[in-house]
């Protein structure tokens, strides 16, 4: 009876092949669990000020007419609960991420999206700490929204958002996002709620001038809750976002797809083969008995 040891490099190659086969990429879509739009309207001539909240169609607007003394501003807060997603797929395995927004006002709109810094806290009247990421639709307004700059219609509090800058700025829809026109010219729908509907998707991939910092931002999350803030950085744009939480919309459809839908994060995970590799290391010491 003769014993022969399988060469170590052969075992290593076999383990690598098995690990590769056992770790395919997985893509999941996650819709928002909470959302609110806040609006500020002021007319100097009448000294009239109105603030309001909007759901499920929220305004993203930065309009200022200095000659008429009129301000009409709107911003949007979106909350995503990723705790079960991290538990299932592992945040460390996240390899790409994109955000999709459904808009009511055509394909050429401009806006920015920023991410609230993870772990920010504030204190209630009794000095009890609470997480700013636990905001709710019913308790959020123009003045207390987390990361808000209540004095500006075109800015937020950049000291409270990731990287002190927007994650995604759509300045030119031809280069800064993937836009699909769901307007009446395509769908044949004449209802004014849908005649200019469009879908905007942030460009996925590595962080470059043409892509978003969304992936890098999501990797900083520690509690499963993520807040994104939408605003008009131009002081000129005007649009409405559909922000109803998952399951809000049932139609109409275009080629089987909803032409309005809830804001959605599309996340791709590539599981690290570390665990399988460790188990496979045992193969390096296998000895094969040959007659």
Q: What is the CA 59 to chain-centroid distance, rounded?
A: 17
pLDDT score of 172? 85
Q: If you average pLDDT over residues 107-119, what whole number do you get?
A: 95
Find out whether 104 and 57 touch, Cβ atoms under 8 Å: yes
**Residue 267 predicted with pLDDT over 80:** yes
**Residue 230 predicted with pLDDT over 60:** yes
pLDDT score of 275? 43
pLDDT in tens, 30-66: 999 999 999 999 999 999 999 999 999 999 999 998 8
**Residue 29 predicted with pLDDT over 60:** yes
Q: Is 82 or 279 the better-scoring residue by pLDDT?
A: 82
Q: Is 112 or 207 the better-scoring residue by pLDDT?
A: 112
**Residue 287 predicted with pLDDT over 50:** no
pLDDT in tens, 167-209: 999 988 888 999 999 988 888 877 777 888 999 999 876 666 6
**Residue 83 predicted with pLDDT over 70:** yes
Name residue 62's beta-bridge partners.
73
Question: If we measure between CA atoms, which residue out of 163, 179, 194, 145 comes closest to residue 40?
Answer: 145
pTM (2 decimals)? 0.85
Half-sphere exposure of 239 (CA within 13 A, CB side): 29
pLDDT score of 58? 97
Q: If you average pLDDT over residues 254-272, what whole number do you get?
A: 92
Q: If you average pLDDT over residues 138-163, what whole number do you get?
A: 96
pLDDT in tens, 91-104: 999 999 999 999 99
Q: If you average pLDDT over residues 80-95, what whole number do you get?
A: 97
Question: If we measure between CA atoms, which residue out of 251, 249, 192, 238 comes closest to residue 58?
Answer: 238
């Amino acid at each position: 009876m003769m014993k022969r040891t399988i060469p170590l490099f052969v075992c290593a190659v076999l383990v690598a092949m098995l690990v590769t086969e056992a770790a395919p990429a997985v893509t999941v879509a996650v819709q928002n669990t909470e959302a609110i739009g806040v609006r500020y309207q002021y007319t100097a001539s009448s000294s009239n000020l109105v603030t309001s909240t909007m759901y499920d169609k929220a305004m993203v607007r930065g309009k200022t007419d200095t000659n008429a003394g009129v301000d009409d501003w709107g911003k949007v807060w979106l909350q995503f609960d990723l705790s079960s997603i991290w538990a299932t797929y592992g945040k460390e395995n996240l390899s790409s991420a994109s955000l999709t927004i459904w808009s009511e006002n055509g394909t050429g709109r401009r806006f920015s999206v920023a991410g609230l810094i993870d772990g920010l806290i504030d204190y209630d009247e009794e000095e009890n700490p609470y997480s700013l990421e636990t905001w709710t639709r019913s308790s959020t307004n123009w003045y207390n929204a987390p990361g808000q700059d209540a004095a500006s219609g075109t800015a937020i509090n950049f000291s409270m958002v990731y990287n002190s800058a927007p994650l995604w700025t759509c300045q030119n829809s031809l280069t800064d996002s993937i836009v699909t026109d769901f307007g009446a010219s395509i769908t044949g729908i004449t209802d004014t709620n849908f005649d200019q509907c469009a879908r905007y998707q942030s460009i996925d991939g590595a962080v470059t001038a043409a892509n978003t910092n969304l992936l890098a931002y999501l990797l900083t999350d520690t509690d499963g809750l993520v807040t994104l803030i939408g605003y008009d950085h131009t002081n000129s744009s005007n649009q409405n976002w559909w922000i109803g939480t998952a399951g809000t919309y049932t139609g109409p459809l275009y080629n089987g797809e909803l032409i309005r839908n809830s804001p959605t994060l599309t996340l791709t995970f590539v599981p690290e083969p570390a665990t399988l590799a460790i188990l496979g290391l045992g193969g390096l010491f296998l000895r094969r008995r040959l007659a």
